[in-house]
Amino acid sequence: MDLFLDMLKEDTGTVEAHLTLGNLFRSRGEVDRAIRIHQTLMESASLTYEQRLLAVQQLGRDYMAAGLYDRAEDMFNQLTDETEFRVGALQQLLQIYQLTSDWQKAIEVAERLVKLGKDKQHIEIAHFYCELALQQMGNDDMDRAMALLKKGAAADKNSARVSIMMGRVYMARGDYAKAVESLQRVIVQDKELVSETLEMLQTCYQQLGKNAEWAEFLRRAVEENTGAGAELMLADILEAREGSDAAQVYITRQLQRHPTMRVFHKLMDYHLNEAEEGRAKESLMVLRDMVGEQVRSKPRYRCQKCGFTAYTLYWHCPSCRAWSTIKPIRGLDGQ
């Protein structure tokens, strides 16, 4: 390796070959060797300006691979004013600031990318404001959290996460009417996430004494096929108002329209309540418990980009690092 680097100092005509070799070492996990090659390139006095920028870019990627984010940041910051390297450098910086949870810097970089025509960054900017708002909510500073969430809404008016978090802030303030207004936006923004709002909406409507409006919202959620959660909650309301027979008829109809294990489990509860004591009822109880265990053991969420599954909702996929791609699982084993 030392002989190879000495040759490089004497002959810069092989710059492309050395850049390629450095990249090869990095791809093989030999980051130290890649760093040595690219550092030596940068130290060569006979490089052209363009070649030096290429060396800076590759050294930044080496540092990223090594987890040396402060050094990588220094490298990419040198490229943000260079036309041919600007977008790539900003995207690398954006990745660094997400990995280090430096959300304010992430916002600043993402806004620069938006000005360069990268419109999808609007979605990420809204998430970054949500991350900052979470910090303020942890400090019980709801006013500051709301101010940040409003900036997130301005960045992406279709952000369901912003609406959900606004609902939480309004609930913490005791402003249940405003919470309902925020949470109900989710059915328009992303109906796949309506299930994440139902318990909060139920609390808000109860606090407001608006049970009829709550039932009406559930009917709308069911009509728009937002998932089993709304179906089960509406079944409970029907049972309280009209009796278990009406609820059972409704659940059977929903199971035929949108079969899920969760709704089937509810139907078995109704049948158990009607069953006479004996071996048949005992067998039905065993089957019901098996279905319940199946429902509990299955992941509830899946990334629509990489397939990562989880039991809780992540806004930022831990596997592929994409934002807003994890949704409740639909179908027989899901919603």
- Binding-site annotation, residues for Fe cation: 303, 306, 317, 320
> What are the two backbone dihedrals, phi and then psi, of residue 205, each rounded to the nearest 5 degrees?
-65, -35
Alpha carbon distance 77, 90 (integer Å):
8
Annotation: binding site: 303, 306, 317, 320
SS3 321: coil
| DSSP letter string, 56-105 | HHHHHHHHHHHT-HHHHHHHHHTTTTSTTTHHHHHHHHHHHHHHTT-HHH
Alpha carbon distance 41, 25 (integer Å):
15
Two structure tokens written together for 66: 């090594």
Crossing angle of the two packed helices 142-155 and 160-173, in degrees rounded to 10: 160
Give 268: exposed, middle or buried? Use CB within 10 Å, 0-12, 13-18, 19+.
Answer: buried
Alpha carbon distance 167, 142 (integer Å):
12
189-211 in b/e form (b: 16+ CB < 10 A) is bbebbbbbbbebbbebbeeeebe
| Residue in this structure with the two tokens 């005509």, named with its chain if needed | 13
| DSSP letter string, 234-279 | HHHHHHHHH-HHHHHHHHHHHHHHS--HHHHHHHHHHHHHHSPSSH
